[in-house]
Amino acid sequence: MTHVDRIAQVKLPVTDLATSVAWYRRLLDLRLWVEIVEDDVYVAPA
């Protein structure tokens, strides 16, 4: 059986970025390393 030890990066298109980031962080116990902002708009977590 395969065991996932860690996840390095996740990229999923979503309609509500802030809500989705919170949900995936809770579900998968992910760490947020970087928040990317372009023209004062939050466009991507990393």
pLDDT digits (tens, 9 = 90+) for 1-46: 889 888 777 777 888 888 988 998 899 888 877 777 778 777 777 6
The pLDDT value given to residue 26: 92
Q: List all residues 6 or more positions away from 24 whose beta carbon is below 8 Å from its beta carbon.
A: 10, 12, 30
Q: Delimit the domains of the chain by residue range.
A: 1-46
pTM for this entry:
0.56
The pLDDT value given to residue 35: 75
The pLDDT value given to residue 46: 65
How far from 24 is each of 1, 13, 19, 31, 39, CA to CA, in Å? 24, 12, 9, 10, 25
